[in-house]
Amino acid sequence: MNVIFQEDLSNVNWTEMKQVYQSVGWNKHTEEIIQSVFQASNVIVIVRDEMRIVGFGRALTDGVFNAAIYDVVVHKHFQGKGIAKQIIMLLTRRLEGVSCIHLISTTGNEAFYEKMGFQKLKTGMARYLNSSLAEEYLE
């Protein structure tokens, strides 16, 4: 495995990005939506193996007080190799001076983020337009 980490969107193949999402069951993301959310993000990590995209993560930040990490996804055939850990490390390094970094873990991955130094919020709040997401994530 020859993994390369890139921190910009140069030469991104949006079809490959969609395939990574689909490999973990995220099937509602179109190439247009994926391109839109990544282009709107301040901090990006794309992971390639032999030039094929196999994982990624992104964050939004004001650069001072707050940041939020989204879409840390590794293709199912590349999971368990430490790639997600490296994505989180690169994202948090780029967000080093930011006072608070938020993220919402997908169900079942909470322990991974706890190992990466994240803790549960006492006062976290959210609103979901999608009723199935609201059912899964809200109390």
- In whole angstroms, give the CA distance from residue 47 to residue 103: 20
Nearest CA to 70 out of 32, 99, 36 is that of 36
Res 1: pLDDT: 78
Mean pLDDT of 11-18: 97
Beta bridge partners of 5: 47
For the stretch 104-110, contacts whose Cβ atoms lie closer than 8 Å and that sit 24 or more positions apart, written own/partner, are 104/137, 107/136, 107/137
SS (H, E, C) 73-101: EECHHHCCCCHHHHHHHHHHHHCCCCCEE
Beta bridge partners of 77: none
pLDDT tens digits, residue range 65-123?
Answer: 999 999 999 999 999 999 999 999 999 999 999 999 999 999 999 999 999 999 999 99
| Strands 52-61 and 66-74, sheet pairing | antiparallel
- In whole angstroms, give the CA distance from residue 67 to residue 95: 7
